[in-house]
């Protein structure tokens, strides 16, 4: 079975690619490497197409003969979308439409990866998929538009599509050391560097933190089974953890107190987030998450083993089979095929 992973050189994509290969799939990765890295695919027998999801010819080249596409590529970050809404829309909405339209030509199955940020603020917890969506940022609005296109292609063309909403995914390969880093790698980076951990707000805001291995496993299963559903599906395990609880767990792991600096809440952030899991468990009856303490221990170990402090990053490598379309170096947007940073994960 041939599976294309857009954004496959990024955080979640690196895990998904390994899960697909372990299941015996042939994997093609489409990524512009603006936030992903060839090093994340080092030693893996994948074909890497470097280019933008907004370029139809590149998408057609990557997806030729595919049985399924897992569409992770996005322009991430709530904060970033507030600075440049048009660029966020171009990638997350129009880019998704391009992927779906290419898939429709060959009746290729598509998993469209969306975000819990589409729910916005207010309402009751846990978030049920039928809850009203009130996006609080251009990022959230663009992901809701992507979902709408996916389900519209399912209803209008009969395209086999699954739209999933991710909640605060974290783990190895997640980027750190930049302005838009998600909260857990930002905390770990600060702890490794001996700096204060920055919390935006009082720290009692809650998130449904989800370890990346479980997410990658479910996305892999969905692609291999060509799973389709008429409505969006939450992918999380229904937990609700305060940011200050994460700080305390990291203090236990590091074996020392970690100073915290509180800043003002950020525009577009959601106060609380938690997934309802009934639909996911019906579609994936064997789904099982990893407890927060174990997942944080594994994540900290991965960063520290690689010396990933603010002055170090994963070294570049080019051992993947790489195809460079003629226009791949002239991407119109610098993060067009960046791997998805899950929704509220950049709230802290």
Q: What confidence score (pLDDT) does residue 313 get?
A: 37
pLDDT, tens digit (0-9, with 9 covering 90-100), for 88-117: 999 999 999 999 999 999 999 999 999 999
Q: How is the chain split into domains, by residue range?
A: 2-170+210-238+275-290+314-346
Q: What confidence score (pLDDT) does residue 95 get?
A: 98
Question: How far is 342 from 226, CA to CA, in rounded Å?
Answer: 23
Query: How many Cβ atoms from other residues are within 10 Å of residue 61's Cβ?
Result: 16
Average pLDDT over residues 283-292: 95
Contact 295, 172 (CB under 8 A): no
Angle between helices 292-305 and 243-254 (to 10 degrees): 60
Closest CA to 30 of 74, 92, 93, 76: 74
- pLDDT confidence band for 121 (50 / 70 / 90): confident
Residues 6+ apart with CB under 8 A from 74: 7, 91, 92, 95, 113, 143, 338, 339, 340, 341
Closest CA to 228 of 157, 144, 134: 157
For domain 2-170+210-238+275-290+314-346, give the fold: Rossmann fold (3.40.50)
Helix (H, G, I), strand (E, B) or coil at 323: strand
Catalytic site includes residue 139: yes
Take residue 69 and report the two structure tokens written for it.
């596409």
Report the percent of the chain where pLDDT is more than 70: 87
CB-based burial label for 345 (10 Å; 0-12, 13-18, 19+)? buried
Question: pLDDT at residue 319 above 60?
Answer: no
Closest CA to 343 of 59, 3, 92: 92
Take residue 131 and report the two structure tokens written for it.
């809850």
Take residue 134 and report the two structure tokens written for it.
């009130």
> Locate tokens 């920055």: which residue?
198
pLDDT, tens digit (0-9, with 9 covering 90-100), for 163-222: 999 999 999 999 887 766 789 999 999 999 999 999 999 999 999 999 999 999 999 999
- Of the candidate ranges 21-30, 115-124, 283-292, 300-309, the one whose mean pLDDT is the lowest: 300-309
Average pLDDT over residues 280-305: 96
Question: pLDDT at residue 310 above 80?
Answer: no
Choosing from 119, 139, 211, 303, the catalytic residue is 139
Strands (E), the chain: 2-6, 26-31, 47-50, 68-71, 109-115, 161-166, 169-170, 197-200, 206-207, 210-211, 233-235, 241-242, 260-263, 321-323
CA distances from 280 to 12, 162, 165 (A): 18, 11, 10
Contact 170, 299 (CB under 8 A): yes
């Amino acid at each position: 079975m041939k599976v294309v992973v857009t954004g496959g050189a990024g955080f979640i994509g690196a895990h998904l690619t390994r899960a697909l290969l372990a299941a015996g799939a042939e994997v093609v990765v489409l990524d512009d490497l603006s936030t992903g890295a060839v090093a994340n695919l080092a030693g893996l027998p994948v074909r890497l197409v470097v280019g933008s999801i907004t370029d139809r010819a590149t998408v057609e080249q990557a997806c030729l003969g595919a049985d399924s596409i897992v569409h992770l590529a996005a322009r991430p970050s709530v904060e970033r979308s507030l600075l440049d809404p048009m660029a966020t829309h171009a990638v997350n909405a129009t880019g998704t439409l391009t992927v779906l339209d290419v898939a429709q030509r060959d009746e290729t199955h598509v998993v469209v990866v969306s975000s819990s940020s589409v729910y916005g603020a207010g309402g009751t917890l846990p978030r049920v998929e039928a809850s009203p969506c009130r996006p609080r940022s251009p990022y959230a609005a663009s992901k809701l538009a992507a979902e709408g296109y996916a389900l519209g292609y399912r209803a209008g063309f009969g395209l086999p599509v699954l739209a999933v909403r991710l909640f605060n995914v974290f783990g190895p390969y997640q980027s750190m050391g930049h302005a838009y880093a998600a909260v857990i790698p930002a905390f770990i980076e600060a702890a490794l560097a001996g700096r204060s951990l920055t919390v935006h707000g009082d720290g009692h805001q809650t998130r449904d933190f989800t370890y990346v291995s479980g997410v990658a496993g479910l996305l892999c299963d969905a692609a291999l089974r060509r799973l389709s559903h008429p409505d969006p599906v939450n992918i999380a395990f229904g937990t609700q953890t305060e940011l200050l609880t994460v700080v305390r767990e990291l203090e236990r792991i590091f074996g020392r107190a970690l100073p915290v600096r509180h800043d003002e809440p950020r525009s577009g952030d959601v106060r609380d987030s938690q997934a309802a899991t009934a639909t996911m468990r019906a579609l994936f009856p064997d789904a099982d998450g990893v407890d927060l303490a174990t997942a944080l221990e594994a994540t900290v170990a991965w960063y520290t083993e690689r010396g990933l402090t603010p002055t170090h990053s994963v070294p570049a490598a080019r051992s993947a089979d790489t195809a460079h379309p003629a226009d791949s170096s002239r991407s119109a947007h610098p993060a067009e095929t960046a791997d998805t940073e899950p929704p509220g994960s950049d709230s802290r």
